[in-house]
């Protein structure tokens, strides 16, 4: 029974990694992040500079976190610290949903050109929102165990 549970949780990690890799590919191919404003040293939560680095860090960072947890499953089986894994998943859900919302809001309200960059940006934001839901579902499964 434990191996079935491990396979379910590992498949959730694979989905998370795939969604983050697709998001990173969209960033690289279409540059679908908010354009960086002229004042690069100004820290303002509403600035495009802050949004850009936040969403890139979320996609890349949680791709790494999910990969490490997946490798831990492959090496030693089930997690020995489910509360820590649940915490990672809840934080991943929160930042993925935040990043997705920021990106969708930017491309719907501020990127007025109806081009493929806008479409890719909305897709990127939507993928991050979906990934946030996957993280929440994964946190539920880990915590339920």
**Residue 6 burial (CB < 10 Å; 0-12/13-18/19+)?**
middle
pLDDT greater than 70 at residue 96: yes
**Reported confidence tier of residue 3, pLDDT bands at 50, 70, 90:** confident
pTM of the predicted protein model: 0.87
Domains contained in the chain, CATH given:
1-33+45-144 (1.20.120)
> Strand, coil or helix: what is 45?
coil
pLDDT greater than 80 at residue 145: no
Report residue 65 as tokens: 């976190």
Strands (E), the chain: none
Whether the Cβ atoms of residue 125 and residue 100 lie closer than 8 Å to each other: yes
pLDDT score at 50: 78
Whether the Cβ atoms of residue 23 and residue 125 lie closer than 8 Å to each other: no
Report residue 127 as tokens: 């993928």
Report residue 57 as tokens: 């860090």
Report residue 86 as tokens: 């649940």
Q: String of b and e for 28-45 (b: at least 16 CB within 10 Å)?
A: eebebbbeeeeeeeeeee
- Please state, rounded to an integer, the average pLDDT across all residues of the chain: 85
Percent of the chain clearing pLDDT 90 (strictly above): 47
pLDDT (tens digit, 9 = 90+) per residue, 68-89? Answer: 999 988 888 776 778 889 999 9
pLDDT score at 90: 97
Whether the Cβ atoms of residue 22 and residue 127 lie closer than 8 Å to each other: yes
Whether the Cβ atoms of residue 13 and residue 138 lie closer than 8 Å to each other: yes
The span from the CA of 46 to the CA of 106, in Å, is 11
**Reported confidence tier of residue 43, pLDDT bands at 50, 70, 90:** very low
């Amino acid at each position: 029974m434990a191996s079935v549970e491990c396979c379910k949780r590992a498949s959730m990690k694979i989905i998370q990694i795939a969604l983050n890799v697709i998001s990173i590919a969209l960033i690289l191919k279409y540059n679908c992040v908010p354009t960086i404003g002229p004042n690069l040293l100004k820290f303002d939560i509403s600035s495009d500079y802050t949004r850009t680095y936040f969403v890139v860090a979320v996609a890349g960072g949680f791709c790494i976190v999910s990969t490490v947890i997946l490798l831990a499953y492959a090496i030693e089986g089930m997690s020995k610290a489910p509360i820590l894994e649940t915490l990672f998943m809840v934080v991943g859900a929160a930042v993925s949903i935040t990043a997705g919302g920021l990106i969708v809001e930017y491309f719907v309200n501020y990127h007025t050109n109806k081009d493929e960059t806008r479409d890719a940006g909305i897709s990127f934001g939507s993928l991050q929102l979906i990934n946030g839901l996957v993280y929440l579902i994964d946190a539920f499964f880990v915590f339920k165990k």
